[in-house]
A and B are shown apart, each in its own frame.
Chain A
Amino acid sequence: MHHTCGLLRRLATFPFTVSDTLPISLPTASEEDLVRRLKARDESALTLFYDRYASALFGVISRIVKDDDTAEDVLQEALVKIWNAFPAYDAEKGRLFTWVLNICRNLAIDKIRSRQHRVGTRTQGLDDSLAAQRMPAADSFRPEHIGLQEVVQTLVPEQRQIIDLLYFGGYTQSEVAEELKLPLGTVKTRARTAIKLLGKLIR
Chain B
Amino acid sequence: MEDPQAYIESGILEQYALGLLTPAERVAVEAEAARHPLVAEELAAGQRALEYYAEAHSRELPAAMRDRVLTKVLAQITPAAAEAPVAAPVAATAGAPTPSASLRADVDALARPQAAAEPGVRSISSAAAPTAPRRGLAIAASIALLLSLFGNAYLYQQWQGADTALVALQDTQNRVAANTLVVEKKLGEVKEQNAVLRDAEFHFVALAGTPDAPQDRARVLFNAKTKQVYVDVQKLSPAPTGRQYQLWALNNGKPVDAGMLTQAAASGERLERMKDIASAQAFAVTLEPLGGSASPTMPIQAMGTI
Which residues from chain A contact B81 at a C-beta distance below 8 Å? 8
Of residues B50, B55, B59, B168, which shows the largest number of chain A Cβ atoms within 10 Å of its Cβ? Answer: B59
Selecting from B16-24, B122-130, B247-255, the interface stretch reads: B16-24
Which residues from chain B contact A173 at a C-beta distance below 8 Å? 15, 20
A3 & B56 in contact (Cβ 8 Å cutoff): no
**Roughly how many angstroms separate A199 CA and B18 CA in the complex, as a whole number?**
14
Contact of A199 among B15, B48, B148, B160 (CB under 8 A): B48
Is B117 an interface residue, CB under 8 A from the partner? no
Which residues from chain B contact A145 at a C-beta distance below 8 Å? 55-58
Contact of B74 among A21, A60, A98, A189 (CB under 8 A): A21
A199 & B109 in contact (Cβ 8 Å cutoff): no
Contact of B77 among A16, A83, A93, A102 (CB under 8 A): A83
Q: A8-B76, A88-B164, A150-B56 are in contact. Are A195 and B46 (CB under 8 A)?
A: yes
**Roughly how many angstroms separate A106 CA and B78 CA in the complex, as a whole number?**
24
Number of B residues, CB within 8 Å of A: 58
Which residues from chain B contact A198 at a C-beta distance below 8 Å? 49-50, 52-53
Selecting from B63-71, B215-223, B224-232, the interface stretch reads: B63-71
Which residues from chain B contact A79 at a C-beta distance below 8 Å? 69, 73
Which residues from chain B contact A90 at a C-beta distance below 8 Å? 171
Contact of A56 among B19, B55, B75, B156 (CB under 8 A): B55
Q: A7-B149, A76-B69, A101-B51 are in contact. Are A43 and B164 (CB under 8 A)?
A: no
Q: A3-B152, A145-B58 are in contact. Are A13 and B71 (CB under 8 A)?
A: yes
Is B264 an interface residue, CB under 8 A from the partner? no
**Distance between A116 CB and nearest chain B CB, rounded to angstroms:** 18
Number of A residues, CB within 8 Å of B: 76
Contact mask for chain B residues 163-176; partner A; CB cutoff 8 A; 1 contact, 0 none: 11001100100000
**Roughly how many angstroms separate A58 CA and B68 CA in the complex, as a whole number?**
14
Which residues from chain B contact A156 at a C-beta distance below 8 Å? none
Contact of A11 among B15, B67, B75 (CB under 8 A): B75
Q: List 23 A-B residue pairs with CB atoms under 8 Å apart, sorted by A's residue number.
A: A1-B159, A7-B148, A8-B75, A11-B75, A12-B75, A13-B71, A14-B110, A16-B105, A18-B71, A56-B57, A76-B69, A84-B160, A102-B19, A143-B56, A151-B53, A166-B20, A173-B15, A189-B11, A191-B11, A192-B14, A195-B14, A195-B17, A199-B49
